[in-house]
Structure 1
């Protein structure tokens, strides 16, 4: 299996970093916009969409700043990839952005970016930041 290619996308978002962190780091917050339902047991999270279910391991998090997961299916296949959602605040303007770091097959990068755009659009609606 070929290694996946890393990509980053930035989304300006009008919300406080503290509120945003609740939506990216807790099962209840993630289930508002990222998946239909999210459960966690310790460092393991289960993301549920319609009829599919994906398990991920929490690799790291820094309160108020970022969270990083690895899909267990990738880990089992020996694929070195993860996804990270990072909150960035511009020191001068105080503008808040979400920086997404993810990995995808070369021919699936555009599709993966579109998926993130849809997910972040859902998050903005939940936050009232459209």
Structure 2
């Protein structure tokens, strides 16, 4: 089994960090764009797609800055993270996604994130 690698994606967003953080850190927000159904209990999120579900623990977060999740089935050092940054040049909000994938799967995984983020932007009002 090959070791997964960390990769980073960045998306400029036209909305406030406060609103964006809600969509990244709450079950109701995540259900708007990330999964068909999302439940949360004691920091453990259950994400459901087409009848199958996965659980992830929200392991770390900082209001309006970042939220990190760890998939229950993944090795301890792997996670996926949403970070909210501001461009110093344009003052635009940037959504930074960090995730792990096998080298040969990074392109496909990136395309999946692109699709998910497009849905998020649609929910945010066409950002």
TM-score after normalising by structure 2? 0.95
Gaps of 5+ in 1: none
Q: Secondary structure at the match of 2:2?
A: coil
Q: Secondary structure at the match of 2:115?
A: helix
Alignment of 1:1-130 (within 5 A): 1-74=1-74, 78=75, 80-130=77-127
Q: Which structure is higher in helix share?
A: 1
The number of aligned residues is: 127
Q: Secondary structure at the match of 2:73?
A: helix
Contact 1:9 1:100 in 2 (8 A): yes
**What RMSD, in angstroms, separates the aligned Cα atoms of the two structures?**
1.2
Contact 2:70 2:76 in 1 (8 A): no
TM-score after normalising by structure 1? 0.93
Gaps of 5+ in 2: none
